[in-house]
Structure 1
Amino acid sequence: MKQRSKWSTGLIILAIFLVSINLRPAVTSVGPILSTIRESLHVSSTQMSLLTSIPVFCMGLFAPLAVPIQKKYGYRLSITLLTALIGLATVTRIFFSSYSALIITSFLAGFAISIISPIINAYIKQRFPTRMEPVIGVYSFATGFGAAISAGFTGIFYKSFNGNWALSLGIWGLLAIVAMICWFGFVKDAPMRKSSTEQTDLARNPWKNKLAWTILIYFGLQTSLFFSLTTWLTSMALEQGMVLLTAGSVLTLMTVVQLVGNILIPSLINRYPDRIIWLHSLIVIGIIGSAIFFIDSVWAIWASAIILGFVLSGLFPIGLMLPLDEAKNNREANEWSSMVLSGGFMMSAFAPLIIGFVYDWTTSHYFTRWIIVILFILMSISVFIMQKQKNSV
C-alpha cells in the first residue's frame, strides 16, 4: 500500500513538472530570434516588446480568476483545459505568422498561464503541506527548464527549419499535449480534511494587508528582471558583435545556470529556511553581476549571464514561497498566491516594454544595463521593508 502511495505521489510530481514546463516557452521563445522577427515583420523594438509584455500582463490581470475557476472545476479539469489552451495558442503561430496573430496568441497563452500558476501553487500547498519547499523546487525547476530549452533550441530550430521563425515558435505547443494527458491521468480531485481553522472558512484579505503588498512588489520586481533579461539579453549580446546563435547561447547559459540553481537552492532553503537572509545575499550578488554588464568586453556578458542566472534561480522560488509562508489555511494560500502573482506579473509587464522604448530612442543597450541595476536596488528596498514588517508581527 505504501509503495502504491509513493508511486502515485511520484506521478503527481511528474504531472506538476510537465505542466510547469509549459509556463514559459510561449514567452521566452521569442527572445532568441526577436531581432529576426522584428526585421521580417518590419516592426519596432517597442512593438516586439509587446510579445513579452502582453502575456506577462495577462499573467497578472487574470490570476484572480484562479480561485473561482479552481472551486468550480477542480484542480484536474481546470489545469487540463488551460494547458490545452497554451498548446493551441502556441501551435497556431505555425499557421498564422502576422504580427497581429502573434499578439493574439500571446494574449491567449498569457491568460492560461495566469490561472495555472496560482492554482498549481495552491495545489502544492494543499497536497504537500510538509514537503512544500522541495515540490516548489520541482515547479520552479520545470518553469526554468521550459525557459532554458526554449531559449536554447529556438535559434537552432530557426536554422534547422531554413529560417522559418513561425515554425520555430509554434513547435513548443507540442509540449502541452504530453502535459495535459499526464495531468488528467495522474491527478485526482479529492476532498481535503479540514482543520479547525479551515472549517471557519476565514481568511485575511491580502489586498488589505501591508505585508502582502510588499511581497507583491518584491515578486513583481524579480519577475521584471527575469522577463527583461529573457527578452533583451540576446539583443544585448548582438550589440557586442556576436552572431545570432552565439548571442542566443548567452541567454541559454543564463537559463541553464538558473535551471541548476532551481534544483539546489530550494533544497538548501529547506535546510536553512531564513528567506530574508537568502534574499539579501542573492540581491547583493545580483548587483555585482549587473555591474559587470558595464564592462565593454565579450567575457563580461558571459560572466553576467552566469551570475544573474544563479541569482534568478533563488529569487523566483522564494517569491512563490513567501505568500504560502504567511497563509494560515488553504483558502488563504490560494488568495495570497493569486494576489501576489496577479499584481507581480502585471508590474513586470512594463519593464521589457520600457527597455524596448528606450532602445528605439537611443539605439543602444547602455540604459538597459541601468534599468537592471535599478530593479535590484528597488528589490533590496522591498526586502528591507518586508523584514521590518515581519519583525513587527
Structure 2
Amino acid sequence: MAKKQWTLSLILVVISIFFVALNMRPAVTGIGPLYNVLMTSLHVSNTSMSFLTSIPVFCMGLFAPLAVPLQRKVGTKSAITFLVAILVFANGLRLLQESYALLIVTSFAAGLAIAMIGPILNAFIKKKFPQRFTTVIGIYSFGIGVGATLSAALTVTFYQIFGNSWTVALGIWALLALGALVIWLWAIPSQQNEQVLKITTTEYARNPWTSGRAWAILLYFGLQTSLFFSMMAWLTPLLQDKGLSLETASAMLTFMSIVQMIGNIAVPMLMEKWSSRMVWILALGFVGLIGFTLLWLTSGVYLWLAVLLIGIVLSGLFPIGLLLPLDEAKNDLEANSWSSMVLSGGFMLSAIIPIMIGVCYDITGNHTWTYIIFLLLMVGIIVSTRLLRKK
C-alpha cells in the first residue's frame, strides 16, 4: 500500500510540474500570432514590436540567478506559488487596455517569473527523480511545448471570437496560470519547503561561473533559445510577407508548435536509448539548415515541409539545453546553480536576436537578413558541439 501511495504522489507531482510548464511561454509567444495586428493598432515600428519578445527573454536571463536565493528562503512550493501568481497578474493586466506601455510592463513581469521557475523546477526534478530525470525533463519540456502550441493555435482564434479584441486574446491566458496555481498548491506537500531548505544549506556545489564547460553549455543554450523565440515572434509576419493570410500563417505556426510539442516529449525518451547529446545536436543542426533554406527560397507546399523540419529541430534542441547542465550536476543544489547560470546567460544572449531582426527589417524593408540570421544561428549550434565535446 505504501508503494502505491508513493507512486500516486509522484504522479501528482509530475502533473503539477506539467501544468506549471504550460504557462512558461504564452505570455511571450502569444505576441507573435498577432504581430501585425498589434503593430497596426499601437502604431509602433518593427523594432518596437521586437522589444515585446526581447524584454521578457532578457528578464528570463537577468533574474534567473535569483532562483537559488528565493528557493533557499521560502522553499520550492512557496517559491513556485509566488511566481505563478505573478504570471496570473501579468497576463490578467493585459485585459485592461490597449497600451504598448502596459505590454512592456507585463512582459517584464512575466519574464521575471519564468526566469526563476525554470532553475527551481530543474533542481526539483533532479532531486525528486534522480533515476528518471531525463523522462521528467521531457514531460516538463513537453508542457512548455504544449503551452507554446496553445498560444500559437488559440490566440488568433480568441482574437476573432471576442470581436477582434487583442486585449482579451492576450489576457485570457491568466486563466491557464490560475489553473496551474491551484493544481500546484494541491499536489505539492507543504513539507517540501522544509526539505529544500535543509538540503540546500548542507550540500556543496561547484561554481559554474568559473567552469569553461558551463560557459560552453550557456553558449549552446543561448543560440537555440534565440532560434526558438525569434521563430515564434517572426514566423507569422514572415509568412504574411510571402503573401499568406493571417489565418494560414497562424495555422502554420500552430503546425510548427504541434511538431515541436510532440518532439519535446519524444526526443528525451529517445535519448534514453541513444544518449549521445552531440550526435543529436549535429543531426538536428543539419536538418535545420535544410529547413531554413526551404523557408527562405520556396513557396507553396514546400513551406509546410520547411515548417515541419524547423519544428523537429526546435523540439530536440530545447530539451538538450535543459539536460546538459543537469548531466554535469553532482547534486540538486548544483543542478539549480548550473541551470540558473545557463538559463541566465543563455536567455540574455538570445534577447538580442529578435531586436536585431526588427532593426534589419526596418532598415532594409525586406526579410533577407532575417533568413541569414536564422542560418547563422544553425551554423553556430553545429559549431558549438566542438566546445561541448571538451570535458
Q: TM-score, normalised by structure 1?
A: 0.96
Cα distance between partner residues in 1 of 2:207 and 2:176: 36
- Matches of residues 32-181 of structure 1 in structure 2 within 5 Å? 32-181=33-182
Q: Which amino acid aligns with 1:333?
A: A
Q: Deviations over 1:24-81 (max 9, x none)?
A: 0000000001100100010001000111000000000000000000011111010011
Q: What is the letter of the counterpart of residue 165 of structure 1?
A: W
Question: What's 1:247 paired with?
Answer: 249
Q: Structure 1 CA distance, aligned partners of 2:207 and 2:101? A: 38
Q: Residue 297 of structure 2 aligns to a residue in which SS? A: coil
Is the contact made by 2:94 and 2:171 (CA closer than 8 Å) also made in structure 1? yes
Deviations along 1:344-377, one digit per CA (max 9) or x if unpaired, are 0001111111111111111211211111000011
Instruction: Work out the number of aligned pairs and report it.
Output: 387
Closer/same/farther in 2, CA of residues 357 and 193 from structure 1, 3 Å limit: closer
Q: Secondary structure at the match of 1:319?
A: helix
Amino acid paired to 1:337: S
SS of aligned partner of 1:94? coil
Report SS of the residue matched to 1:135: helix
Paired residue secondary structure (2:172): helix
Residue of structure 1 in register with 2:9 after alignment:
8
User: Aligned partners of 2:249, 2:365: CA distance in 1, in Å?
Assistant: 18
One-letter code aligned to 2:278:
I
- Counterpart AA for 2:99: S
In structure 2, the residue matched to 1:230 is: 232
Q: Which runs of 5+ in 1 are unaligned?
A: none
Distance 1:193 1:25, change over 3 A: closer
Distance 1:265 1:46, change over 3 A: same
Kindly indicate whether the alpha-carbon contact (under 8 Å) linking 1:238 and 1:247 is maintained by their aligned counterparts in 2.
Answer: yes
Moved over 4 A (4+): 192-195
Say whether the 8 Å CA contact 2:203–2:333 is kept in structure 1.
Answer: yes
For the residue of structure 1 that corresponds to 2:121, the secondary structure is: helix
Matches within 5 A, 1:185-196: 185-188=186-189, 189=192, 191=195
Deviation (angstroms), 1:200: 6.7
Which of 153-162 and 224-233 deviates more? Answer: 153-162
8 A Cα contact 1:28 1:231, kept in partner: yes
SS in 1 for 2:203: coil
- Over aligned residues, Cα RMSD in angstroms? 1.5
Shift of 1:2: 1.4
Structure 1 residue aligned with 2:328, among 322, 326, 329? 326
Work out the CA distance in 1 between the residues paired with 2:204 and 2:79: 24
Matched, 1:382 2:384: yes
Q: What is the CA distance between 1:250 and its match in structure 2?
A: 1.2
Return the letter of the residue paired with 2:371. R
User: 1:215-271: per-residue Cα shift (whole Å, max 9, x none)?
Assistant: 000000000000000000000110111111111111111100001111211100011
> What SS does the corresponding residue of 1:273 show, helix, strand or coil?
coil
1:353 matched to 2:355: yes
Report the Cα distance in structure 1 between the residues aligned to 2:103 and 2:54, rounded to whole angstroms.
Answer: 12
Deviations for 1:296-332, whole angstroms, at most 9, x for unmatched residues? 3122322111101111111000100000100111221
* CA distance in structure 1 between the aligned counterparts of 2:376 and 2:25, rounded to whole angstroms: 24
Unmatched segments (≥5 aa) in structure 2: none
The question of 1:18 aligning with 2:19 is answered yes
Matched-pair contact (CA < 8 Å) for 1:240–1:298: no
Provide the secondary structure at the position in 1 that maps to 2:243: coil
TM-score (ref. length: structure 2): 0.96
Task: Quote the Cα distance in structure 2 between the aligned partners of 1:201 and 1:193.
Answer: 11
Q: Who is 1:307 aligned against?
A: 309
